[in-house]
Every structure is written in structure tokens, then in C-alpha cells.
A and B are shown apart, each in its own frame.
Chain A
Amino acid sequence: MKVGVIDYGVGNLGSVMRALEELRVIPVLVTCAIDMQIVDSLILPGVGNFSDCARLLNKGGWFQALQDEVQGRKKPLLGVCLGMQLLASCSMEGANHDVPNGTPGLGFIPGRVEHLSSLGCHLRVPHVGWNAVTPACMRGGLFNGIPVGTDFYFVHSYAFVPDNPADVLATTDYGIPVTAAVRRGHVWGTQFHPEKSSRAGFRLLRNFIEDRQC
């Protein structure tokens, strides 16, 4: 089993790679788009600013390549943190007078990324730390073996609001309900960092790698 970690110039790739090694799969650092063809599934990490990451994805030709590989060849994809937000249609991060509708994302899961405070959150932002995650409905899948209310590590100021509520796989409570995980078909995303969530995170990554039908 080869899992590709997409390296487009940002992110804490070291810990994702090491977490995969611990799970006894072969992590492959995918540094050019064509290398995605040799792996069985893909992880899209991300840290920082949505517009910068989207720009780097564009620059490296990742936008089209990911469309081909994930939408075309149906390769499973897990977006982590900003990597999850990049699955959205667009983000309001970096929106201004010139780009009032924000920055476009991959659009694999239709929806918008908005600042927590503009979603009505009055608590301290960024949302940093361990927060309890509640899967939306069915058990199993990505959260197989993970009890309801397990804490995962979050660190973000923007949140993903999918157009279709059915795409929300799990939520967390930070004054308002915040999307913690999304899923549409073989495309998954977690707002939290599984690679930094200790054993709970390992379990989730194992579920992603092993259970493609989840």
C-alpha cells in the first residue's frame, strides 16, 4: 500500500510521513503531479493561508492533476486542515474588493470556507487545541472504532461550510457547530490534524488507508 503525501511547497509534511510509517504503509512524498499515478491513495496536507496554498497548487499544475486523479481515476483523497478547506469551492480567506467572492478551491465538495467569527463564533480565534468530535450520523467509516466525543487537535481560524449538509461527516462545538470532517464519495477531509492527534489520529488514518469503502 502506497500513500502519497502531496508536497506542493507548504505544510508540516514530516509528521504526516512519520505517522504513515508508524502505520506500516509506504509513504511517498509526491513532489510532482505525475507521481500521483504510482500511489494508491492521497493525502493533501496544508497549513497557513488558503490563497497562498491555492496559488502554489495552481503553480505546480496540481489543480488539473488532482481533478484527473481523484475525480477521473477515483483515487481516494484525504485533505487535512487547510487541505480539507482546499476541497471547497472557494474560501473567503484573502477576499477583498478585487476578489469579493474569495479564492477558488478544488471544488470536490461544494461549499464555502468562512472565518469563524463571521459564522457567529464569539470565542477566542484561532480555535486551537483539543476538541471533541461527533460523527454526524452513521458510525464506522473514517471514525470506525473511535468513540463519539473523542478529542482531536484543531488549529484554524476558518471553517468549511459544505452546501449540502450531507457532506458533513463530523462536527465539533466551538460556540457554534464547526465542520470537523467532510466526505463525498472517495474524498474525505478533516479540519483537525490526525497526524498530531496521537493514537486517536493514528486510528483515523488507519481507517482511511484500510477501509476504502468507508
Chain B
Amino acid sequence: MLKVRVIPTLLWKQFGLVKGVGFDSWRRVGPVLPAIKVYNQREVDELVLVDILGHKSDDDPDFESIEEFGQDCFLPLTVGGGISRIDQVQRLLRAGADKVSVNSAAYVRPQLVTEIAKRYGAQCVVASIDVRADPSGHWQCFSQAGQFATGREVREWAREMEDLGAGEILITSIERDGTMQGYDLALIEAVAGVVKIPVIAAGGAGTYEHMVLAVTQAGASAVAAASMFHFTEQTPAGAKSALAAAGVPVRRPFVAEAE
């Protein structure tokens, strides 16, 4: 049986990891490499690493740094931030990324998603969608790290991403981001209901119970969290125990048989 994944999200800015609230007021939370090593040692299910300044420049992603981070990562690694061309994807895969997440560039040139999927397979491209609810309750997608309203409604955009070839959707509620008050379950449920590809819940996790609800109530295939793991004593292993106790299948650490 396929397991529900618990995914620590590492947001990266210049030389270190950061975490904000509502995509703003970034706090430094330490260097990148030791965090990757620790998560690797603890055998988390997967890691998402996003350069939050990536969208700001026309420069390529920082391949050298990613290669250094990928060196010690024997877990699935998704890399995002500023990916706008197919040749960048090849270099990221060579540097140790297994998947890339595409966000802002997809609004400008949606075919990018198709190009990546055709060349590297749908499983290689994660469509990352950042969402804010407007006063009428309409879920609108935002690009450029939450700064620009795209005018796209989330369900419509998620379906379009799926049609264009995305293999997974990473859905983040901007309002819940960093608050640790829980995922926007209605948002996640709405998106999981309109696409057939796996949906990763993000934005707002603060307790293990939030993760349980994202899976059992909203239908997420995986749960991502950052603040909860950076700023509280809660761990991915603890999250998995709580999910297991709620009847959700999770991956157990590997124990070799005696020879």
C-alpha cells in the first residue's frame, strides 16, 4: 500500500534557510546543508527545497549550491525557485534533484510544464500553487512568492496544470503559511477533488492533528510543513506515529534482517 508522505519544506534565501509568515517577515533558521544531513539521517520521506528569491532574477538557479545539497541527500528531493527553462531542469536533475517544482514561470508560459513532462516524465514536474482567498471566498492563485495576483482560480489552474502534464500539485495557502493554525482544509479538498494527480498539502501545519485532517478529511496524498519542524519540538517521525495511530499508512524506518 502506498504510504502518505511527510515532507519537510526547506526555504532557502542566499546563504541560509528561512521561514516566514504569510510569505513575509522571514526569519533565519540556520544553514542548509546540516538540515539536509539531519533529515537524511532521520530518513524523512522526501524533501522540498525552494529558493525563495529564485523568481526575482533572470539568472539560472544556483546549480553549485544545489549540487552541494544534493550530495548528501539519499531521499527524493524536489527543487524549486526560478525555474523557467528546460535546460535548467536537466542541470538540476544532474545536480541531484529528482523533481522540480514550477510556480511563477507557469503563469507566463504554461507550456514549460508540458516540455518538462514530455522530456522527463510527468512525475518529474510538481506544479506549486500559492493561493489566497479573496473577500468573496474565491481562491486566487498568486505568483512571484505571493506578490502578484494572477487572476486564476485555483481549481481551474490545478486542472490546467494536470492537463499540461504536471505529476503532482503542491498547494499552499498563503494566509495560513507560517501561522501553524492548520492547513486550509477546504482549499486542499477542493483541489484534490478536481485533479487525479497526487496533491501535497502545505501552509499552516502546526500540529500532528492538522496533518491527520489534511489526509483523512481533505484527501491529501502528502503533507508538507516547515515552521512546525523548525520552531516546535515536533518531528517528521512524530507526525508519522500520529498518522499511523489515526489509521493512515506511513512508511516505517528500514531495519535490516539479521544475516
Contact = CB atoms under 8 A, between A and B. Distances in A.
Contacts of A18: 70-72, 74, 96
B122 A126 contact: yes
A28 interface: no
B256 A146 contact: yes
Interface string B33-49: 00000001001011000
Contacts of B93: 10-12, 47
Q: Size range of the interface on A?
A: 35 or more
A12 B251 contact: no
A146 B258 CA distance: 9
Given A12-B93, A49-B118, A145-B259, A129 B222 contact: yes
Interface in B185-214: 196-198
Q: Is the interface of B mostly helix, strand, loop or mixed?
A: loop
Interface in A148-174: 150-151, 153-157, 173-174
A75 interface: no
25 contacts: A10-B90, A10-B120, A11-B93, A12-B97, A14-B96, A15-B73, A15-B96, A18-B96, A49-B119, A126-B121, A126-B198, A129-B198, A129-B221, A130-B2, A130-B5, A146-B256, A147-B255, A151-B254, A153-B76, A155-B99, A156-B121, A196-B98, A198-B43, A198-B75, A201-B74
Contacts, number: 137
Q: Size range of the interface on B?
A: 35 or more
A202 B74 contact: yes
Contact of B3 (A48, A130, A197): A130
Nearest to A199: B254
A128 B168 contact: yes
Nearest to B219: A124
Interface of A: 10-15, 18-19, 22, 47-49, 52, 82, 123-132, 144-147, 150-151, 153-157, 173-174, 193, 195-203
